[in-house]
């Protein structure tokens, strides 16, 4: 009996000292409602995307045509020679980015090992320059860029310091050659892209071409005057830039780009029905209100 009494007391005390279960926060009906709106939006976005056809996606060297009910077709519009021209142009760029942080800092020699490593690789590249498929008409330019770059790197290594004026002078000498490399690479890519799009356009009906969407994937820096954007502004018309021709900034995967397109198509349907302005949801819904309030805070923008 005594043991049973002590067990009962222990259980009673344990019950008294146990922490109460935390109370669940009350459900906020507005928050829950908004979750449902978002879920429905995602579902409807997928439906709208499935009905959006055809679509061309430009991802760096490749173009992909997507049509409803058909397998995607991908083709490269970038011949190997484009990369050769870029590689040569990268030599003076590589020298500059290696040395620029140390220009005018004679006591800082952290650049020596990276520059020597770059020099060794450029010397090795010079030895095979005539065997990598560069047309003979451009070989004099390529050899000039490589030779001048090697000479400059050896000069800097011998001096033991990076002179800012000397680095700038070298870069300015190289600039026309770098731009010539870029011109030749651009021409090859434009011709390759034009051949592919011309072939695909012949396969599309006039109605399909009129509703074609083009997504150009890429980072922020080359967005301005991007090669593919320029091409499709000519092919579709400049008025389509930002409408059916979209630069997918900092998006590099096809699925992510398609998700973005689905959102744009969904948002434009909303904008047409609510505001009678198809592109209204392409800008922040708060933008007009923000401008009005800022005009009151700071006065009208000048």
100-149 per-position pLDDT tens digit: 999 999 999 999 999 999 999 999 999 999 999 999 999 999 999 999 99
DSSP the chain: -HHHHHHHHHHHHHHHHSPPPPPPPPP-HHHHHHHHHHHHHHHHHHHHHHT---EEEEETTEEEEE-TTS--EEEE---HHHHHHHHHHHHHHHHHHHHGGGTT-TT--TTHHHHHHHHHHHHHHHHTGGGS---HHHHHHHHHHHHHHHHHHHHHHHHTS--HHHHHHHHHHHHHHHHHHHHHHHHHHHHHHHHHHHHHHHHS-HHHHHH-EEEEEE-SGGGTT-HHHHHHHHHH-GGGBTTTEEEEET--SHHHHHHHHHHHHHHHHHHHHHHS-TTGGGS-TTHHHHHHHHHHHH-S--
**pLDDT one digit per residue (tens) for the chain, 302 residues:** 555 665 555 555 555 555 667 778 888 999 999 999 999 999 999 999 989 999 999 999 999 999 999 999 999 999 999 999 999 999 999 999 999 999 999 999 999 999 999 999 999 999 999 999 999 999 999 999 999 999 999 999 999 999 999 999 999 999 999 999 999 999 999 999 999 999 999 999 999 999 999 999 999 877 778 999 999 999 999 999 999 999 999 999 999 999 999 999 999 999 999 999 999 999 999 999 999 999 999 999 88
178-200 per-position pLDDT tens digit: 999 999 999 999 999 999 999 99
């Amino acid at each position: 009996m005594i043991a049973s009494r002590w067990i009962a007391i222990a259980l009673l005390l344990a019950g008294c000292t146990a922490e109460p279960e935390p109370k669940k926060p009350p459900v906020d009906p507005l928050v829950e409602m908004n979750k449902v709106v978002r879920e429905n939006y995602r579902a409807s976005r997928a439906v709208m995307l499935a009905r959006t056809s055809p679509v061309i996606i430009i991802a760096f060297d490749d173009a992909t045509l997507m049509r409803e009910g058909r397998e995607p077709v991908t083709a490269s519009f970038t011949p190997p020679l484009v990369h050769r021209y870029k590689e040569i142009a990268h030599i003076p760029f590589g020298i500059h980015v290696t040395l620029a942080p140390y220009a005018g800092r004679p006591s800082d020699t952290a650049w020596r090992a990276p520059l020597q490593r770059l020099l060794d690789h450029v010397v090795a590249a010079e030895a095979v320059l005539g065997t990598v498929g560069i047309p003979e008409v451009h070989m004099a330019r390529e050899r000039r860029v490589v030779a001048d770059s090697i000479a400059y790197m050896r000069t800097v290594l011998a001096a033991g310091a990076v002179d800012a004026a000397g680095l700038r002078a070298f870069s300015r000498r190289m600039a026309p050659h770098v731009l010539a490399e870029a011109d030749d690479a651009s021409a090859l890519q434009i011709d390759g892209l034009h051949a592919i799009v011309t072939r695909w356009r012949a396969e599309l009906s006039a109605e399909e071409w009129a509703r074609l969407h083009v997504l150009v994937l890429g980072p922020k820096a080359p967005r301005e005057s991007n090669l593919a954007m320029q091409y499709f502004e000519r092919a579709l018309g400049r008025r389509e830039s930002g409408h059916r021709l979209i630069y997918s900034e900092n998006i590099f995967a096809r699925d992510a780009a398609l998700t973005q397109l689905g959102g744009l198509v969904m948002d434009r349907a909303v904008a047409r029905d609510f505001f009678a302005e198809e592109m209204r949801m392409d800008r922040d819904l708060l933008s007009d209100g923000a401008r009005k309030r800022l005009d009151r805070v700071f006065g009208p923008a000048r």
